[in-house]
Amino acid sequence: MKLCFLLFSFLFIGNCYSQDFDVLVLGTAQDAGSPQAGCTKDCCRDTEKSEPVASIAIASNDQFWIIDATPDFTQQLSMAQQEFPSSKFAGIFLTHAHIGHYTGLMYLGREAMNTDSLPVYCMPRMAEFLRNNGPWSQLVDLGNIKIIEIKNGKSTSLTSSISITPIEVPHRDEFSETVGYIVASQKKKALYVPDIDKWSKWSQSITNYAKMMDILLIDATFFNGDELPNRDMSEIPHPFVVESMKELESLSKTDKSKVHFIHFNHSNPLLKDGAIKQEVESKGFHVSQTGQRL
Ligand SMILES: [Zn+2]
Ligand SMILES: [Zn+2]
Ligand SMILES: [Zn+2]
């Protein structure tokens, strides 16, 4: 009898201990999606081919969370629910207050889902912004969302064996801080950084992260500096994909294969040009796909 109990405890604890998470890519486009409003060029002419805004779901056995509430939140929540039918939608983690990353919160309000105290995890300035500006403040006042403030570098437990940690990154912080997230279990570590100005402006090293993590989903807004001839690219800095590939050049084949580019501007050829995509893959990196499970 005692032996049975011990065996049961061992199996049960062993199972909890080894609980893992899945990452589901819910969209790969930059904030404005693809096609982008107002673009009449080839990249956006085919309105049949659209790409949802960058977001990921993190799922354990019985719960899932979504990082960022994009303008495509409706279809993305549905995608996550279909992919993880026995898991409950347990909350949203926000990276920052740019349109592609939080405006999907509108679908939680009275006009739509009318959620009850859905946990929304965000940094202090982001929380302040939501509490003090309509229509987001109404979500707080009506109790549709429950804001949970998180701190740079401090972990939140998603389950007994999975944690999530915000890491501040340099970005145009007009209304909020900007963070990326590390999700970690005993078996797996994933880094999600959809927006950052330039790797060189960061106090941390993306190369070191590539060695430490198992999965990296990183900012690939622009492929190179020639993409937007009519815009001053220094006003909207991002690491160009060509720069990131150079930065990560010294990594081993195994470490390079952990890198998945995401958050593509409508002008980025990685969204549609198979040859360029292949060029990136031939260098050992990956180009994220919506619906992909990592
Ligand atoms: Zn963005
Ligand atoms: Zn376009
Ligand atoms: Zn941004």
| Predicted model pTM | 0.93
Q: Report the distance separating Cα 178 and Cα 108, nearest Å.
A: 22
- Cβ proximity of 44 and 37 under 8 Å: no
- The rounded Å distance from CA 18 to ligand 1 centre is 33
Rounded to the nearest angstrom, the distance between the alpha carbon of 152 and the centre of ligand 1 is 19
Measured in degrees and rounded to the nearest 5, phi and psi for residue 200 equal -70, -20
Instruction: Look up residue 36 and give its two tokens.
Output: 């982008």
What's the domain count of the chain? 1
Q: Which residue has the tokens 């950084």?
A: 193
CATH code, 150: 3.60.15.10
Quote the CA–CA distance of 215 and 182 in Å, as a whole number.
10
* Closest to 101 in 3D by CA, of 126, 83, 134: 126
Phi, psi of 280 (to 5 degrees): -65, -45
CB contact set of 229 (below 8 Å; sequence gap of 6+): none
Ligand nearest to the CA of 272: 2
31: nearest Cα among 68, 79, 78, 74: 68
Q: How far is the CA of 86 from the centre of ligand 1 (A)?
A: 30
| Within a domain: 191 | yes
Tell whether 6 is covered by a domain: no
Q: Is 15 domain-assigned?
A: no
In a domain, 42, yes or no: yes
Is residue 279 domain-resident?
Answer: yes
The one-digit pLDDT tens for each residue of the chain (294 residues) are 555 554 444 444 444 445 799 999 999 999 999 999 999 999 999 888 899 999 999 999 899 999 999 999 999 999 999 999 999 999 999 999 999 999 999 999 999 999 999 999 999 999 999 999 999 999 999 999 999 999 999 999 999 999 999 999 999 999 999 999 999 999 999 999 999 999 999 999 999 999 999 999 999 999 999 888 888 888 889 999 999 999 999 999 999 999 999 999 999 999 999 999 999 999 999 999 999 999
Establish if 275 belongs to a structural domain. Answer: yes
Task: Quote the ligand 3 centre to 96 CA distance (angstroms).
Answer: 7
Which structural domain range is residue 269 located in? 21-287
Structural domain contains residue 11 = no
Task: Tell me the residues surrounding ligand 1 (ion) with CB < 5 Å.
Answer: 31, 100, 195
Task: Specify the amino acid at residue 280.
Answer: V
Residue 12 falls inside a structural domain: no
Q: Listing from the earlier edge strand, what are the strands of the sheet with 179-184?
A: 156-157, 163-168, 179-184, 189-193, 215-219, 259-262, 286-287
In the chain, beta strands by DSSP E:
22-27, 55-59, 63-67, 88-93, 118-122, 145-149, 156-157, 163-168, 179-184, 189-193, 215-219, 259-262, 286-287
